Structure 1
């Protein structure tokens, strides 16, 4: 008997609202079923959240009060838009080691929108959940982004 997975939107909602740790393998499976997106199609301001998997980057983003990402142009992207104590938003170029740019890059056999950090060998790949939601996965040197063999997963919702 073959076991079929629920539709993508149903799986997305379940993972998005999961109260406890999310299984990185379930995120990998969902990622594989999402549609690729062109870099030029994701320009704008995005509010982000991390999937709770226990990845160490979750704590880094929480400490920095990460709000999301800003894609002003293909060659002008801010990966770490954070909230200051006074409530204002700013681009944390110290933690991000600069800013970034957007490219269409192959990841896991598919070409999709990818944010390339200026100051470190890190790539945030994106796929479309729906017209206003992206799923992201951080990729790069294993020592930089991998935790227990798993990558960091997050999502962006268009503001």
Structure 2
């Protein structure tokens, strides 16, 4: 477990607290310093947030009232848990074009837990900040996930 005094955790906390815009290069550097995580270790419900980089997905997730992700098992993952008008959580199957599954996939030369969307050529790769905190980066077909050549970065905190 990384304590608040650990340099990587300190960088995470500083970027997490930043109102924006967050420099994508700092997120790339932090990603490179985090530990990989096995798909079996991310099971559960997670509250999510977007790092404010100006990526268009930030607006889409805000509009859909994105709450987080839920991983019931390796073959049952819900990438877009959202909040309805009454405050209830639901899996947004329409926006996500279905749900997803968890795999251990290579990304940037490392094998780490990755959520593979069922209905789109999109992957969410995860690395561990600590046992209850993950950093995510969305990858896939460039026209779907890249904005000005930049990936979408987000965080997940275990509920």
TM (normalized to structure 1)? Answer: 0.96
Runs of 4+ in 1 over 2 A off after TM superposition: none
Distance 2:95 2:20 in 1: 27
Report the counterpart of residue 112 of structure 1 in structure 2.
112
Give CA-to-partner distance per residue, 1:99-158, whole Å, 9 cap, x none.
000000000000000000000000000000011000000000110000011000000000
RMSD, aligned CA: 0.8
Distance 1:107 1:19 in 2: 28
Distance 1:82 1:112 in 2: 25
Report the counterpart of residue 70 of structure 1 in structure 2.
70
Gaps of 5+ in 1: 1-5
Gaps of 5+ in 2: 1-5
Per-residue deviation at 1:7? 1.4
Give CA-to-partner distance per residue, 1:21-65, whole Å, 9 cap, x none.
000110000000000000000000000000000000000000000
Report the counterpart of residue 138 of structure 1 in structure 2.
138
TM (normalized to structure 2)? Answer: 0.96
Per-residue deviation at 1:20? 2.0
